[in-house]
């Protein structure tokens, strides 16, 4: 699907992976509807893209609000045209992740944003896509959506497993309508989300992680795939994958980072 002139809606667009997706898709000539709950940061992002010659409409919202998602799609359609693609990048995590200290309200918020937020955005675009006979969704899931891991926490793991299952179910039900979804499952990415950790990674550790632009390339690849191709999921990780590197080698690399002034 050539993206030039097509309307793509990006959630979580003010920072991190969502912002990188906006840059990448603008470079492909897409017309962008951008959403995030941080309205000032979102408008600044849209203004920067417009200054580069892109068409970017800021539509602040909280993805946990289904009606707001429907309204955003209606506004995007009125201002830009039919929404033919969705890049769902809104996501959060919390600091107290272990079950021994997990707060039920915080856990519910993780599920509301990471899982329900994707569902709300998808349900807002699907009717129009069905009526036009096609559409593409690229959903930022996580390595945790395929491989449960201890340090991301139970709530986050559950939310991303739910998102992965949702994408595959969407393909089962909507493929006959020409609609396809790709679950993008990245390993560690150097984004502001890492601030929600007590053991924040050092600059050296961040340099070996995926960068938001790496994930944005996968999103663009999924959205640009021909209409008859469904890229069901893309699992992507850093080459230096801390889940695979033995503790001894991690400790040695950390010492080398400190010697180099990288923390």
Determine, yes or no, domain membership for 257.
no
Pick the catalytic residue from 156, 171, 205, 216. 156
Determine, yes or no, domain membership for 110.
yes
Q: Domain with 236 in it: what CATH number?
A: 3.40.50.720
pLDDT tens per residue, range 74-133: 999 999 999 999 999 999 999 999 999 999 999 999 999 999 999 999 999 999 999 999
Determine, yes or no, domain membership for 115.
yes
Determine, yes or no, domain membership for 256.
no
Helix ranges restricted to H, 178-211: 203-207
Its pTM stands at 0.95
Determine, yes or no, domain membership for 108.
yes
**Is 244 in the active site?**
no
- The helix (H) or strand (E) run that includes residue 76 is helix 66-79
Determine, yes or no, domain membership for 59.
yes
pLDDT tens per residue, range 2-46: 899 999 999 999 999 999 999 999 999 999 999 999 999 999 999
Determine, yes or no, domain membership for 181.
yes
Number of domains into which the chain is organized? 1
Determine, yes or no, domain membership for 154.
yes
User: What is the domain range of residue 221?
Assistant: 7-202+210-241
Contacts of 140 (CB under 8 A, 6+ apart): 12, 17, 18, 87, 88, 89, 91, 184, 186, 215, 219
């Amino acid at each position: 699907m050539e993206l030039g002139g097509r309307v793509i809606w990006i959630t979580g667009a003010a920072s991190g992976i969502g912002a990188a997706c906006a840059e990448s898709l603008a470079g492909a000539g897409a017309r962008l509807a951008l959403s995030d709950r941080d309205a000032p940061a979102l408008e600044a992002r849209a203004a920067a893209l417009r200054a580069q010659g892109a068409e970017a409409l800021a539509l602040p919202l909280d993805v946990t609000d289904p009606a707001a998602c429907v309204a955003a799609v209606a506004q995007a359609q009125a201002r830009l045209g039919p929404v033919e693609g969705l890049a769902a990048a809104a996501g959060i995590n919390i600091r107290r992740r272990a079950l021994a200290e997990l707060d039920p309200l915080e856990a519910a918020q993780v599920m509301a944003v990471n899982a329900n937020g994707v569902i709300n955005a998808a349900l807002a675009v699907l009717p129009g896509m069905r009526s036009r006979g096609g559409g593409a969704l690229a959903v930022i899931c996580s390595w945790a959506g395929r491989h449960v891991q201890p340090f991301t926490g139970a709530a986050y793991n559950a939310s991303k497993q739910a998102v992965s299952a949702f994408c595959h179910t969407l393909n089962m039900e909507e493929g006959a309508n020409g609609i396809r979804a790709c679950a993008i499952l990245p390993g560690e990415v150097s984004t502001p989300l890492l601030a929600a950790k007590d053991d924040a990674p050092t600059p050296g550790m961040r340099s070996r992680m995926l960068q938001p632009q790496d994930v944005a390339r996968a999103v663009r690849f999924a959205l640009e795939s021909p209409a008859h191709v469904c890229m069901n999921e893309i699992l992507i990780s850093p080459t230096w994958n801390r889940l695979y590197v033995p503790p001894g080698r991690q400790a040695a690399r950390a010492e080398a980072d400190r010697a180099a002034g990288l923390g």
